[in-house]
Structures are given as structure tokens and as C-alpha cells.
A and B are shown apart, each in its own frame.
Chain A
């Protein structure tokens, strides 16, 4: 009995019977899976698509005719701003021609919270280090002021350390899109996520050349792979990629997919930071916006998509050029560029802009800023929201400050080898802060010698004795009862403090037993200062100092007059601003504005001022502190070429543990501290260790030197007094009359008793009587 074979029809019928439900089941499964994927895609794309680090910017730079500038610092600034040096006149934004007497600059656009300026070509003529004129390069129209864009100084990266600038598809020029499509997916607008023709063509091309010359993945597939999948090559992953692509194609328009792709693609590496998206790559490689990319540059970027580091235009120039030409030929083959365009661009070199590593500018300043930002935003927000954070930092001042401090400390170590420490963590330290006294803007901050070795910020975190740098606050407390001409005792006195004897001493031996207030502060005379403090009352000294909002403890011990109470350097610097700002205490400002990624202002900080001293007293204090520089302990500044009016005070603590100088003009104030973290002696005074750093710093910043001094406010008068008695000078009798400033109503009413002839004769008679009585 033979079993009858089922007919084909039956088999097919059976198969169909089983397969149809199976296929239907699979179809439903795929649909469900695609639905599941669509929710994943939607979740990823409808919310925030990318983590964009927040950027920290410096302040803008103002240039004007007549301004003195430091050319090397200025040139360096232009380089950091991404201006490319040419040998011809600049024609495009970001290009620069520079010679000894002229800088021609095609400015980048300036986009600030309250204003926008289109980039224009300008010509800056120099006479030595002075800007002679600024004019529009094409029209010759003079420009009274020019504002350079802020400099990007830091990025708040998340754990992925990606950097990107978002662009919308409408901003991307057609030739950039064509370049990308020509080399990556020329049938992008024809296929539905998968391109069988593309795969076959890639296979044929690769077989023909015996190597992988073309990939078959569409842009949608690449996007699916980058966004949702691991790089592992498995069949399952490939299937998933396929379903993702198909799903994405049904969910989104072609241009939406292309926009996501252009913002997503990895396009290079800047140190440990990934350059992602065409917007960031345009700036990274060519220092310009994607909108300004030339055909040459567009083809270069499109070419490196396949292997950004392998084809890097920074490193592998020839390899990159060949790849660019491949893109250009592909564009030409598709008819997207003409024969002429191809011929013109093929021989062109690829000119890229240089770049520096992220996060190395002003690290202590950035730390100080970050502490304030942390009160407003979480670290996650800072590393993903793409905020723009504008600050008060002036990178030219910062560079000059870092250099001045470094050189100053090296000079000290060279002059005294005992200061050299082998252990890096124990090295001689220094710190510096530069402010604009009227507004409290922090222009620069150097919290230590080497940030990589020590992140301890000696400007904002250290508590050090200020020594004589504290004396101005003592003298200020005496201005209600004393005048700059008042006479103080310079004789040794023993004080009892907490049951112990305290005998203050002068820094150097002095014969004069009486000195004026002006001389005592100028020469930083300890005995006279303590005399003043005791006359005024220690409680008064402390209450005066507390007005300056020192956060450290100030107690009414006699030694406070000599600066024994610890202060935080930034607070000391801020306190000195009062003298330079008509008696107003400014808030130290580092953060100016925070903008979201759409340019909306989220946070704005303005100058906040509070009067703590009358303008009259502030003016008199500045006058006294100017004597410190002109005739006192800071006199050596003159030898350093500081010829403009400066007020300031040196400070040295016991055993030379700390050396200070705080100096200012109406335009700028800088505080310098030098010492060891472990309080070892530096064997040098404030004048010897800190002052030269201040001098070098100011010499490097001619743009902040106006030569102006403070205007005498109403309520201050001048009078001529005898320098010996402090009383009104007698015409033709007092040998050293001086013109002195007084608070209105505080001019001495008595005439000089020392040189008064009647009193002199009386005194001689008394002396004679005494002399005779000895017989």
C-alpha cells in the first residue's frame, strides 16, 4: 500500500494555512515592535535631543582711538577669538591681516543679550602701542569705539564630554547639504529609510576597488545606529537598525531627519571632548558659522564624516584633501556643482583655524563663578541646557596676571634660593585679583601658582593676616577727629593685652618722635599707627572695619591696628575699592548674564553698591594712600616705570609670613599676596615681594591706565599747614609748609605754635632761664 503523496496544491494549501497566520502574527509583532520603537524615538526626539554643555564667556573687549594696548596680548586675544591670519586683506568674517602699524580685521558677528552687530571689516592703525584710528575697511568711515566679541573660556561638560552647536536645517546652505548627501546618501530624498540600490551600488564599487570605498547605510540608518544602537555588528542589531529606520521615516519628514543627523554626527576630537554636529565642526575647523562655509570647507567637513580623526584636516592634511576631492567629484557627478566650480575648488588648500584645549583659562575664576552658578543650576543642567554664561573676565588681564605672578615668584626664588621647595605642593605661593573699583567687576583672578597642583583658591578661600595692608581702615576710623596733618606719637609704648605686655615696634628704627598722619601711613609706621588707634579707640577701629563687610572675626585688640586679624584676600580687595569708588562698597561681580539656548535672559546681575564711607573721607584716604606710593614704602614703583598716580599700601606680617600690596587708580585695582601655605617665612616684605608683581602687571595693561586721579568732592577743602606742627602754617615762618586736604570744618584753627615768633621767643626765654638756673 503506497501512501499517496499530497499534491503540490495541498502542500501549498497547508503551508498557506500555517504561514498566513504566522506571517500575520509576525506582521503584528513587527508592527507592535515598530510601535514600541516609535515611542522610544518619540521620547528621544520630542524632548531634549542633545546634551549641550553650557558655555562661559569673558566680557567683550573695547577698543577706541587713543587707547594704549599691549600688542602681544592683543594679538593673542585675536588668535583665541578664532581670527585667521592672512597675507592679504580679509574678505570673510574671521579673517585678519596684521602688520606692525595696522590690523585689518573682518569682525565676527557680535551677539550679546541686548545687542547684535553684524561682522564688518575694520582697519585699526597703530602708532607704537597706541591705537591711532579705527575705521571701516571699505568705506573708511571712522569708528569711535569697537567692541570685540566675548571669548569662550570654558564649557560645563557632562560625563559624555560632547560639544555641539545646534543648527536648524534652514540655516544650512544648500551646498553643505549637497556635499553631505553626495558622499553619504545621494538618494536620501528618494528612499524610505533603506536603499537597496544604494547597497548594490556600494557592493559593486567596493568589489571593483577591492576595498571598502562606499557604505550602503542611508542617513536614516546611520542616525538609528548612532542614537539607539551599539556599534556591535550582529544580525539582530542590523534588523533593529532596519526597523528603526523605517519607523523614523514614517514618523518624520525628510528634512527633520536630515537636521537631526547634521546635529548628531561625530566630527572630531578636541582633547577629551567630542565635536558633534556640523554647527560645532564649522567653528572647530574653520572658525565660522555653518552659514558662512565655502564649498571647499563644506566638502571637507562632509568628507571627514566617515572618519573624523583619520581624515582630520588639522593632522592628516593630504588624506583630508583627497577625501574632500572625492566629495567634490561626487557632487559634480550628480550635477550639483558645475565644471567650473569643480575646477576652481579642487586645487585649493584646506585652511583650518588653530585651537587650544578647553578649560585652561582662568581656572580659579571659573571655580569662583561655578560656586555661584551652583546656587542657580544643577550640574546636570549646566552640562546639558546649553546656557550661555557671560562674565566680567578680561582674558588679557588674566593672561597678564598669570604671567606677572609666575615671574614674580620665580624672581623671588632666584634671589633667595632658601625659598625653593622640592615638593611641588609646598612651593612658594602667590595670589592675585584684579577688579574695577567703581563696579566691582572682577577682571582676573589667580588663586595660586599652579591650578593643576593646588585648586585651593588663595583669593577666595585663604584667611591670612593682612599686616600693614589693614592700616588704611585704622586711619579711616580716625578721620572724624584727626586730619592728615595731625601729629602722632612715634615713641615706644607698652600695652597690656589680656594681662600680657605687648610692645609694638617699628619695622625700621626711626629717630622722629612725632610724625604726621600722612607720614605715618605713607611710611607704615607701627608705633604711630597704634597711637592713632588708641586715641580713636579700638572699638571705633573695629566698627569702622566692619562696615567693609569682612566676614572674618575682628576683635578690639591693640594689635588689630597692625593687621593681626585674618582677612580673606578678596574681601580686602573689595574693601580697598571703597577708597577708589567715592566711598561705595561694590559687590565683587563675576557673573553678568545667563541666557538659555534660545537667547532668552534667565539671570542678570548688575552692579550693586552701598555707601559705607563718605566720598570726602574716601578721597582723603586715596590722597593718603597716594603718599605711600610717592614717598612711602611703595616708592620703588616709580623705578619700575609706574609714573601715573597710584594709591596703595604694602603689608608684611610677623616673621615675613605674608607679603601684600594693594594698589589702585580710578580705573583698576589689584591685590597681590605672596607667602607659603604653611606660614613659612618668605624673608621679604610686601614692598620686596608683592609690589614688583603689581608693577609688572600694570606695565602689561596700558589699556587700563588713564593717568587720571580722583576728583576732589564737595566737602573737601585744602589748607596750608606746617609739616612739623600740623597747624596752620605761618607765612614766612614755617620752613616746610604743605598743602593738605581736610574735611570741611576740620581745617586746623590754630596757627603753628612751633614757629610762632612770640611763642618762640617765650620758649627761648624759658630755656635761657632754665640754663641760668643751672648755675
Chain B
């Protein structure tokens, strides 16, 4: 009886060893890292439309640019309140445009509200992270915000 039990245990042990080694080597088996398809469920996606560099502006972005331009013109005419109204519209139409944030910051700066100007300047940076020219302008704007005394 005991020997029978022992033999069953020995067989189990052998099977366990084989499976265990198999498992160890299985862990080392893949030669290539598991690919991460963008649409694979359960995994974070990396590929986003907005992140594609040099992408042709969407019709929506082009429409929003018209509003941004109107806002800029209001600023040139020294009408920050009118500029803010139209730039908010532009922002709602295209929330990923850094220019709207930049000009909103400019408008608040003109109104003497440095806190709001700083907020919008900071937000603009998110959308200009790959654009050195605009980043320079943002930095200059930031300096101007720092220097201006709040009204």
C-alpha cells in the first residue's frame, strides 16, 4: 500500500519537475517583445490623432483658426474683452490649439489679470511642446506676465 502511494508520489514528482522546467523555459521562450497594437483591449493606447506631427489641419481646426484670428485682431485693437469672447469660442471649437491659449493669456495680460494670464500661458505650453518658435514666444510672454504689475 505504502509502496503504491510512494510510486504515485514519485510519478507526480517527475511530472511536476517536467512541468516546472517547462514553465521556467517557457518564461524565456518569446524572442520578441509582445507587440502592443493600438486597439488591443486592456492596454493603454499610444497612437493618437493629435500627436501626429505635421498633420494637415482638420476642417475644424481651420474654422477655429478664423476665430483665433478675429480674437487676435481684437487684441490688436486693444479690445481684450471682445478678444476673450471670441477666443473662448475658438477654444471650444478646437480645444487642442495652443494659439487660443496663448492669445487668451495675452488678453488677460492686457486686462491686468496676471493670474489668469499665467494659467493660459501654462496651458499653451502643453500644446506647443514640439514647436520651438511658439515655445520661445510663450517664454517671452511668461516674462512679461512676471514683470507686469497686477492692475
Contact = CB atoms under 8 A, between A and B. Distances in A.
A610 B119 contact: yes
Contacts of B67: 145
A708 B96 contact: yes
A604 B81 contact: yes
A631 B42 contact: yes
B48 interface: yes
A771 B44 contact: no
Contact of A441 (B70, B92, B123): B92
Interface stretch (A63-71, A268-276, A317-325, A532-540): A63-71
Nearest to A611: B119
B88 A631 contact: no
B29 A732 contact: yes
Interface string A706-723: 111111111000101001
Interface in B49-64: 49-51, 58-60, 62-63
Given A709-B50, A711-B50, A736-B34, A64 B59 contact: yes
A657 interface: no
Nearest to B85: A114
Contacts of A737: 33-34, 36
A732 B33 contact: yes
A733 interface: yes
What is the interface residue range for chain A against chain B? 35 or more
A729 B13 CA distance: 31
Nearest to B13: A771
A311 to B, nearest CB: 44
Interface string A735-757: 11111110000000000000101
Among the interface residues B28, B63, B91, which one has the most CB atoms of the partner chain A within 10 A?
Answer: B63
Contacts of B66: 144-145
B142 interface: no
A259 to B, nearest CB: 32
Interface string A424-443: 00000000000011110100
Given A607-B88, A733-B30, A757-B27, A714 B44 contact: no
Interface of B is mostly: helix
Contacts of B91: 438-439, 607
A626 interface: yes
Contact of B60 (A66, A592, A712, A729): A66
Interface in B1-52: 9, 13, 16-17, 20, 23-24, 27-34, 36, 41-46, 48-51
Nearest to A635: B41
A621 to B, nearest CB: 13
Interface residues of B, number: 57
Contacts of B30: 732-733, 735
Contacts of B125: 714
B85 A732 contact: no
Contact of B82 (A114, A519, A522, A712): A114
A688 to B, nearest CB: 21
A710 B59 CA distance: 18
Contact of A623 (B27, B28, B44, B51): B44
A584 interface: yes
Nearest to B89: A62
A294 interface: no
Interface in A580-639: 582, 584, 592-593, 601, 604, 606-611, 615, 623, 626-627, 630-631
B129 interface: yes
Contact of A627 (B13, B33, B42, B59): B42
Contacts of A712: 48, 51
A437 to B, nearest CB: 8
A738 B36 contact: yes
A723 B40 CA distance: 14
Given A609-B119, A611-B119, A707 B79 contact: no
A667 B95 contact: yes
Among the interface residues A438, A441, A736, A740, which one has the most CB atoms of the partner chain B within 10 A?
Answer: A438
Contacts of B51: 711-712
Nearest to B48: A709
Contacts of A484: 44
Nearest to B43: A738
B85 A606 contact: yes
B129 to A, nearest CB: 5
17 contacts: A65-B59, A113-B85, A439-B91, A604-B81, A626-B45, A630-B42, A707-B49, A708-B96, A709-B50, A710-B48, A710-B50, A711-B48, A718-B46, A732-B33, A735-B34, A739-B44, A761-B24
Interface of B: 9, 13, 16-17, 20, 23-24, 27-34, 36, 41-46, 48-51, 58-60, 62-63, 66-67, 70, 74, 79, 81-82, 84-86, 88-89, 91-93, 95-96, 116, 119-120, 122-123, 125-127, 129
Interface of A: 60, 62, 64-67, 113-115, 144-145, 436-439, 441, 484, 518-519, 522, 582, 584, 592-593, 601, 604, 606-611, 615, 623, 626-627, 630-631, 645, 666-667, 706-714, 718, 720, 723, 729, 731-741, 755, 757, 760-761, 764, 767-768, 771, 775
Given A593-B85, A708-B48, 12 more contacts: A60-B89, A114-B74, A114-B85, A115-B82, A115-B86, A439-B92, A630-B45, A667-B95, A706-B58, A706-B60, A711-B96, A732-B28
